[in-house]
Structure 1
Amino acid sequence: MMMARGRGSASRGGVFLAAVLLVGFLVAMSAPPVAEAAAATYMVGDYGGWRFNVAGWAKGRTFRAGDHLVFNYNRAVHDVAVVNVAAYRSCVVPRGAKVLRSGRDRVKLGRGTHYFVCTVRGHCQAGMKLAVRTL
């Protein structure tokens, strides 16, 4: 004669597993969310674009590593060189510096301070340069 199987042990195991999963879910949901800072995109010079006297544009703004700068300008008369602090201060672009010439250049910022100048004669001296510090 076969004994009928009761639900007791199987159902207790299922209920226990469901309770453990429910508690795990509730703990996970009550944990504070992980804040992921979305990268921001900034148009250098705002709607005026990359132009003379843009050097003060970054003041009061907070930049983070991963953010992007977009340089909009007339590529027939300007460019953007990525330079070091000495070139930024002297407006003398060293040989081998990365020079962007698309008229709509997008630069991703890493940590530290980033320096940009226009290489056209006299433009850097007229304030067409930018220093951006990231957090």
Structure 2
Amino acid sequence: MESQGTEVMRKRMKPAMEEKEEDGVVLEIEEKEEFQTNIAGSEEMELNIAQILEKIERFTQLVSELLESGKTSFKELSNEFEERMIMIHKEQIEKWQEEIKDLRLLDSSNEEANALLQNARYLLQSAHIDS
């Protein structure tokens, strides 16, 4: 802001130097108009700069919110993915354990059937020899 004041003063001093060369009354009016234009231009520039700074602030806030939202979404998605993978793993392990249990029952049943068949064969052989 201070450099603005210096710049305005510099612009004001230039017409003041020319005042000595020309008619004082006419130059004084021109000087006031130029000074008012510089101030209006500066205010307009400041307004434009303020608007741009507001846009920067809003955009920065939006990016920050999107980043936070994205992080939250990814974290939730990651948690859901992890839970689902654990559930799939657990279901598959349970399925295989059930298959193992069924195979053991089948094996046990086959062993019993084999033992019965062995006994029957022994009895048949014994009966065949006795006859």
Q: TM-score, normalised by structure 2?
A: 0.26
Q: Between Structure 1 and Structure 2, whose CA radius of gyration is higher?
A: 2
- Give the structure with the larger strand fraction: 1
Q: TM-score, normalised by structure 1?
A: 0.25
The structure whose RCO (Cα within 8 Å, separation 6+) is larger is: 1
- Give the structure with the larger helix fraction: 2
